[in-house]
Amino acid sequence: MRLLALIAAAFLMACSDSSAGTAQEAGEPAALPDGQARAILASGCFWCTEADFERLDGVIDVVSGFTGGHVENPEYRQVVNGNTGHVEAVEIIYDPQIVSYEALLHHYWRNVDPFDGGGQFCDRGAAYAPAIFTLDEAQRAAAEASAAEVEARFGQPLAVRIREAEIFWPAEDYHQNYAANNPIRYQRYRFGCRRDQRLREIWGNEAGGY
């Protein structure tokens, strides 16, 4: 369970119960307008992953949610308790004329601990394992090439899995835009989790990707 999550969960319990039905129906994702594309990435806490990508030029929307598991329409508490097989992830809708998929991957690596497959930062367990979920062969090729570059740079194997995309289930409403809607609580969590400190240890001045 993430640091301070119990406090946040207690505060937001009523919201959780009333908004759990926001996940999409099973099946193919909705078609995107012309000129838009989709990416699905996991780097631990989806509050942080969402915030890390929302500021990128060319990113249209970022949705926090769950993917990779065996339960339909999972709820947050089910996922973090390890009962569904899902990981916390984000769905990124972007304009490839402004930001390429390769650029998203470059940004992703600089916001993840690529050597920790048991979770990310203070968040432990399979629900927080890092992964790149590829939607087609072009994304898989780009992901594998970017992973090879990172592995060569550090000279050690990576723990980030490259997986075929599965159904993405949006999380409850109170998880969406969490950093913007709860800035003080979010910053306390992020600092307490030592996310940025660890990223600087790995990436130095490149940490954060900006």
Among 15, 45, 48, 193, the one annotated catalytic:
45
Look up tokens 């990416």; give the residue: 39
- Token readout for 96 is 């490839």
Largest CA distance in the chain: 48
Q: Is 122 a catalytic residue?
A: no
Can you list the positions of beta strands (E) in the chain? 37-42, 59-67, 87-94, 119-120, 123-124, 131-134, 161-164, 168-170
Burial pattern 88-125, b for ≥16 Cβ within 10 A else e, equals: bbbbbebeeeebebebbbbbbbbbbbbebbebbbbbeb
What are φ and ψ of residue 206, in 5° steps? Answer: -85, -5
- Token readout for 170 is 């949006």
Provide the CA 198 distance to its chain's centre, in angstroms: 17
Q: What DSSP string describes 12-31?
A: HHHHHHHSGGGSPPSSSPPP
Look up tokens 């129906």; give the residue: 25
**Catalytic residue positions?**
45
